[in-house]
Copies of this chain bind each other. A is one copy, B any other.
Amino acid sequence: MLRLLQENKALIETRSGRSLQVTAVSARDPKKARDLPLDGVRWVDSAEALAEDDAVDVVVELIGGEAGVALTLVENSLKAGKPVVTANKALVAHHGAKLDAMADTAGVTLSYEAAVAGGIPIIKLLREGLAANSVTRVYGILNGTCNYILTAMRETGNDFESVLKEAQGLGYAEADPTFDINGIDAAHKLAILASLAFGSRIDFPALAIEGIRHVSALDIAFADTLGYRIKLLGYAERQGDRLDQRVFPCMVAKAAPIASVEGVFNAVVAEGNQVGTVMIEGPGAGAGPTASAVVADLIDLARGARLATFGLGARDLVHLQPLDPGRRRGAFYLRLTVVDRPGVIADVSAILRDQVISMESMLQRGRAPEETVQVVLTTHETESAALSRAVAKIATLDCMIEPPRILPIAEF
């Protein structure tokens, strides 16, 4: 961000209508070598002190983490009446409601464009660009690491573990990739998007989260055959006074625009009752995109913008109860690892029929009597609860070698 402020200084000042000055900086280790334009910038030992610093008009928090110094700094800055710009998705996802109330009381803006989807201005799109719409759904590819891994698995046919190692080598996955591949990072972002889209109090603990660790090369190959791509989606839909918000790997039809979003790119789709469907796609991470978003927030502040954190006054946010997971409706993909013997399909079909689930397609590649084969089924739309009951029964069949694999099929 410091580099961007220097590189595009003239342009930023003309667009802001004023000069932006970096007056003070703090970091855990001030001695660490940094290739940054820090001449004449005052170093502060304790980041929290910036909140009380009279020379500071706006605090930019790029520390990360949902607690500790980041939280104290942001809280104290808002209390002191200073606007805050942050790139910290965990902080906003976990403490958004409280921080919003503090910003509201102090009459200052809490900006967080860089917290979701990197350089893509999706916060501005939802909070301002689509403000005239009642949003019905918002979903997207919110984690570049997972999308890179799924893309590489499809392109190479390799399995998850080997592709993850390669991604780590290339710098597309962290040494400890847990937050990314378990879906937590995407979930932080989705919680923020859902609150913005539906004007609801942010409710991170209500999210259902599943990562990509169990997506196999087999599933990816079958998806391709059936006309789908597997994507890790963040998905939020309002159903009356209920909110369905979750992160999960799922099948997306190849023709859907979001299916073509590959590699480390992110994309978000918003459906509004007036505008229809809008998709925005771009780099979801990296120093340049993040700085682009942070500085856009600073320019907005310099231009005099003053916006409610989630687009509504803190008191106007509604509380939406989570949708009962069993009530979700949709089509599903089932992969069964079974012993190839007569009657298997008949047994499975009967179980589905008993749960009033209608099959859309069935695929068995090759024949191998009394050996292990893969049988893949897709269903028409059904209720999650019915599918779960059917799968529990299918799992008990004699011929089953492994637990059934289930992936939802998205309908866009």
Residues of chain A at the chain B interface (Cβ within 8 Å): 4, 7-8, 11-12, 14-15, 17, 113, 119-121, 124-125, 128-134, 199, 257, 260-261, 272-283, 286, 288-289, 291-296, 298-300, 303-308, 311-313, 316
Contact = CB atoms under 8 A, between A and B. Distances in A.
A286 B132 CA distance: 15
Contacts of A260: 257, 260
A131 to B, nearest CB: 5
A278 B199 CA distance: 26
A405 B134 CA distance: 48
Contacts of A312: 14-15
Contact of A119 (B17, B276, B280, B292): B276
Given A124-B128, A260-B257, A280-B280, A288 B316 contact: no
18 contacts: A8-B274, A15-B131, A15-B311, A15-B312, A17-B308, A17-B313, A121-B278, A124-B129, A129-B296, A131-B296, A132-B294, A274-B295, A275-B288, A275-B289, A276-B282, A277-B282, A278-B282, A278-B283
A287 B11 CA distance: 36
Contacts of A289: 274-276
A282 B275 contact: yes
Given A7-B273, A128-B128, 15 more contacts: A4-B132, A8-B273, A11-B134, A12-B131, A12-B132, A15-B131, A119-B276, A125-B129, A128-B296, A131-B299, A132-B293, A132-B295, A257-B260, A276-B282, A278-B281
Report how many copies the assembly holds: 2
Contacts of A129: 113, 121, 124-125, 296
Contacts of A283: 275-278
A284 B299 CA distance: 28
A71 to B, nearest CB: 26
B128 A278 contact: no
Contacts of A304: 304, 306
Contacts of A299: 128, 131-132
Contacts of A313: 14, 17
B292 A8 contact: no
B121 A128 contact: yes
A20 to B, nearest CB: 10
Contacts of A275: 119, 282-283, 288-289, 292-293
Contacts of A294: 132
A291 B132 contact: yes
A274 B300 contact: no
Contact of A274 (B273, B291, B298, B311): B291
A379 B260 CA distance: 28
A120 B270 CA distance: 11
Contacts of A130: 121, 292, 296
B8 A300 contact: no
A128 B15 CA distance: 9
The 10 A-B residue pairs whose C-beta atoms are closest, nearest first, are A121-B129, A132-B295, A119-B275, A278-B282, A275-B292, A274-B292, A274-B288, A131-B299, A280-B280, A276-B283
A310 to B, nearest CB: 10
B274 A119 contact: yes
A113 B129 CA distance: 9
A296 B121 contact: no
Nearest to A129: B121
